[in-house]
């Protein structure tokens, strides 16, 4: 008899849960299949859905963001996760401040080599594509 381990719980966080973290969560969930449970959240913002440009880029790459509903990050959501992935240094710093030094949850940047995923908000369509490609390429680093 084979026993499977529970899925790895991953939380992806960006500033507004509008562009980067929704796309990263969808990529990780799709590629990780049953091995992961993924959620996304943001530090600020009151958006009702994912950014239309990111939805369009995601669709071209084969991902569906149409059902995304932004959520605020909370200490409880951080504690739910086995791994919290921040899109940039500023987000990671705010997450550490939110939960304090005693949190047992692993928190790190989404990209390796200490790199930020640039925020495409307010920028050209090309920046959304670049952001999405960076996120897609980095996904394998977080999957079991």
Both tokens of 95, joined, read: 């997450």
Confirm if 84 and 105 have CB atoms less than 8 A apart.
Answer: yes
Q: Distance between CA atoms of 97 and 36, rounded to whole angstroms? A: 26
Q: Rounded to the nearest 10 degrees, how much is the dihedral formed by the CA atoms of 133, 84, 36, 30?
A: -20
| Residue 5 CB burial class (10 angstroms; 0-12, 13-18, ≥19) | exposed
Question: What are the residue ranges of helices labelled H in 12-141?
Answer: 20-32, 52-61, 75-80, 89-99, 125-138
Q: Distance between CA atoms of 109 and 59, rounded to whole angstroms? A: 25
Q: How do the residues of the chain divide into helix, strand and coil, expressed in percent and rounded to 5?
A: 40, 15, 40
The domain segmentation of the chain, as residue ranges, is 8-142
Give the mean model confidence (pLDDT) for residues 102-114: 92
CATH code for the structural domain at 8-142: 3.40.50.2300
Catalytic positions: 14, 20, 119
The pLDDT, as a whole number, for residue 103 is 82
Report pLDDT digits (tens) over 30-89: 999 999 999 999 999 777 899 999 999 999 999 999 999 999 999 999 999 999 999 999
pLDDT confidence tier of residue 1, bands split at 50, 70 and 90: very low
């Amino acid at each position: 008899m084979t026993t499977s381990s529970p899925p790895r719980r991953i939380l992806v966080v960006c500033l507004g849960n509008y562009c980067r973290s929704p796309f990263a969560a969808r990529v990780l969930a799709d590629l990780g299949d049953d091995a992961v449970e993924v959620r996304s959240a943001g530090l600020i913002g009151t958006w009702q859905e994912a950014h239309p440009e990111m939805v369009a880029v995601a669709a071209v790459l084969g991902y569906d963001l149409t059902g995304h509903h932004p959520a605020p990050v909370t200490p409880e959501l951080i504690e739910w996760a086995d791994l919290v992935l921040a899109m940039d240094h500023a987000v990671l710093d705010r997450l550490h401040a939110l939960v304090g030094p005693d949190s047992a949850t692993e928190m790190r940047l989404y990209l390796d080599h200490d790199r930020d995923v640039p925020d495409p908000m307010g920028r050209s369509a090309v920046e959304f594509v670049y952001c999405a490609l960076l996120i897609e390429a980095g996904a394998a680093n977080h999957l079991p």
